[in-house]
Structure 1
Amino acid sequence: MTDPAAIDDVSIGGEGIRLGQFLKFAGLLDSGGDVKEAIIDGYVTVNGDVDRRRGRQLQLGDIVAYEGRIVRVCA
């Protein structure tokens, strides 16, 4: 189980956001090219499962992880 203290909350100011957008918005990756590579190569997880869809719609409370950083989608 993930330590809740290790999860950073990132406010998106709305109801949902696409995975690719969120990775950049949260500061996990810098460019669209980096996002595309990381997702396609299976380095990004959503709620503990690898997700290879940049356009996946994230919802409030979803947890995204990349290279040891864990962030939660918040309003």
Structure 2
Amino acid sequence: MIEFKLEGEFIPLISLLKATGLVQSGGEAQTVVEDGLVKYNGNVDYRKRLKVRIGDVVDFMGNQIKIV
């Protein structure tokens, strides 16, 4: 599990995927979200501009990111 320390109120989902190094670019992040490859708190979520906050868990390609 990756623990991501949030510096502020929220981080957009696409930015989170880039910041954790799970994707190489914003375009790649948008594509994986649109393709339904990302789970947000256990459910597939297609919102590219989703605001991820402390306590949320994001799953992508076998990697789990917990926001702390």
Output the TM-score relative to the length of structure 1.
0.84
Equivalent runs, 1:1-75 vs 2, <5 Å: 7-74=1-68
Give the residue type in structure 2 aligned to 1:65. D
Give the residue type in structure 1 aligned to 2:4. V
Runs of at least 5 residues in structure 2 that lack an aligned partner in the other structure: none
Aligned length: 68
The runs of at least 4 aligned residues of structure 1 exceeding 3 Å deviation read none
RMSD: 0.9
Identity of aligned residues (%): 34
* Offset from partner CA, 1:5-32 (integer Å, 9 cap, x none): xx22111212211111111111111101
Runs of at least 5 residues in structure 1 that lack an aligned partner in the other structure: 1-6
Query: Secondary structure in 2 aligned to 1:34?
Result: helix
Give the residue type in structure 1 aligned to 2:47. R
Give the residue type in structure 1 aligned to 2:36. G
